[in-house]
A = this chain, B = another copy of it.
Amino acid sequence: MKFSFSAEQEEFRSNLRRFLTDRAPTKEARRLMETEAGWERDGWRALNAELGLTAVRIPEAYGGHGFGFGEHCIVLEEMGRALLCAPYFATTVLAAGAILNAGTEAQKQALLPGIASGDTVAALASTEDNGIWEGAATTLTATPSGAGYRLTGHKSFVLDGHTADLIVVLARAPGTSGETGLSFFTVPGNAAGLTRRALKTMDPTRKLARLEFQDVEAALLGEAGAAAAPFRRTMTEAAVCLANEMVGGAERLREDALAYAMMRMQFGRPIASFQSMKHKQADMLLEVELAKSAAYYAAAALDDGDADVAAIASLAKACASDTYMQTAIHAVQIHGGIGFTWDNDTHLWFKRAKSSEVLFGDASHHRELMMRNWAA
């Protein structure tokens, strides 16, 4: 498989980068991260009106642009770089992904255009208090009632779950266990019996919520009892997309740390002229470039329908987890005392690196997943 970016893709990237540099400076991130929602409708609308980013990977049949993961991951990489505060990942990767992987034609027709246009902000509620990212750990139950179902139980660590208009919920039929009896459902964010609470997050730019379902009316998404496979697929896609978002942040940290080292003087010379700094920067470049390659390759593997994609996705996420965190640690260190202050921006990415490290499972978790695919 050949993978690299076409001239069109590179131009798309640079336009996007310019847009985000103007519209989403860290000043803006600092403002939004102090709000409970973490984002604002107006900014979100602008984002989609002007660049149609929510539509990127949604097929044209459902009002999208029908691009692949290659383009979608460029968007995510640039957003990770800019530390954009928006419900983009939850809406386009998780919710839209679940709908694309599990939904019926009619449901896609009904749900995706709203997402493509940016009118619908959506979330995927799958993980619960146990913090396990596998479908088998689901305890929230869906009981048939009349035409639909009623959901009872809880979800947690739901990305943008407290602000989403539409929530895709992973639930199981009463009395089932493991990967059997799992189904997806859709619930409006303001459904009766649904209580949503924003969680206090270490990374204030990545909002999470805990949802309580008390006999909440829900519509089945896709085939009843058949959600295990599409959920796994959605998690694979999420790992790849997050890996790309992460390498965007890691590269930004690396570049900022380098720029700081170039201008910071100590002992009468720029600290960039000290060999230990040069070697550290070289090591950072190596790590970030490796993680970028893995993330890019994984996106290409999704587009190519590579049979190995699950393993490759886990490889990319494991690589990005270690690299982003390590790069963030170096970046704070290179900035010295300044880097530990609130007013310096480094900690914003440091915290994003930390939340990304464990979101959808940490490096060890994904290394083990990878081995299950390759060592078998």
**Contacts from A to B (Cβ < 8 Å):** 274-276, 279
5 A-B pairs with C-beta separation under 8 A: A274-B275, A275-B275, A275-B276, A276-B276, A276-B279
* Minimum CB–CB distance for A272 against chain B, Å: 13
Residue of B nearest to A279 (CB): B276
Residue of B nearest to A275 (CB): B275
Chain B residues within 8 Å of A275, by CB: 274-276
Assembled-state Cα–Cα distance A252/B80 (Å): 48
Residue of B nearest to A277 (CB): B275
Assembled-state Cα–Cα distance A275/B275 (Å): 6
Q: Would you list the 5 A-B pairs with minimal beta carbon distance, nearest first? A: A275-B275, A275-B276, A276-B279, A274-B275, A276-B276
Chain B residues within 8 Å of A274, by CB: 275
Chain B residues within 8 Å of A276, by CB: 275-276, 279
* Minimum CB–CB distance for A194 against chain B, Å: 42
* Minimum CB–CB distance for A342 against chain B, Å: 30
Residue of B nearest to A278 (CB): B276
Assembled-state Cα–Cα distance A275/B267 (Å): 14
* Minimum CB–CB distance for A330 against chain B, Å: 14
* Minimum CB–CB distance for A190 against chain B, Å: 48
Assembled-state Cα–Cα distance A279/B274 (Å): 12
